[in-house]
Amino acid sequence: MRDGADRLACMGCRCAILWVVEHNHRARAFYRDLGGIEGPPEPHAIAPGCAVSQVPIPWERICDIATAALRRLAAI
């Protein structure tokens, strides 16, 4: 995540959002720990007639992702 955030920042991005499957609780907890704030679940079509519920997790400041990732690494 830190490397991805750094690459996006180098490309001029100031914010980021990713989508995670609603029932993937481990991933959601990981992204929350990196400072992401979950939005409400939304259905997303993955094939004609088939949808999966996904949760948006945005960061208003992309630099917050790298900072939180470094904090996690330091705690290991």
Using one digit for the tens of pLDDT, what is the confidence trace for 16-52?
A: 999 999 999 999 999 999 999 999 999 999 899 999 9
Provide the mean pLDDT of the chain. Answer: 91
Interatomic CA distance for residues 76 and 74, integer angstroms: 6
Residue ranges covered by each domain of the chain? 2-75
* Fold (CATH) for 2-75: Aminopeptidase (3.40.630)
Residue 52's pLDDT is 95
Instruction: Specify the pLDDT at position 32.
Output: 93
Beta bridge partners of 13: none
Pairing of strands 50-59, 16-21: antiparallel
- Give the model confidence (pLDDT) of 43-74 as tens digits: 999 899 999 999 999 999 988 888 888 887 78
Length of the chain in terms of residues written: 76
Helix %, strand %, coil % for the chain, to 5? 40, 30, 30
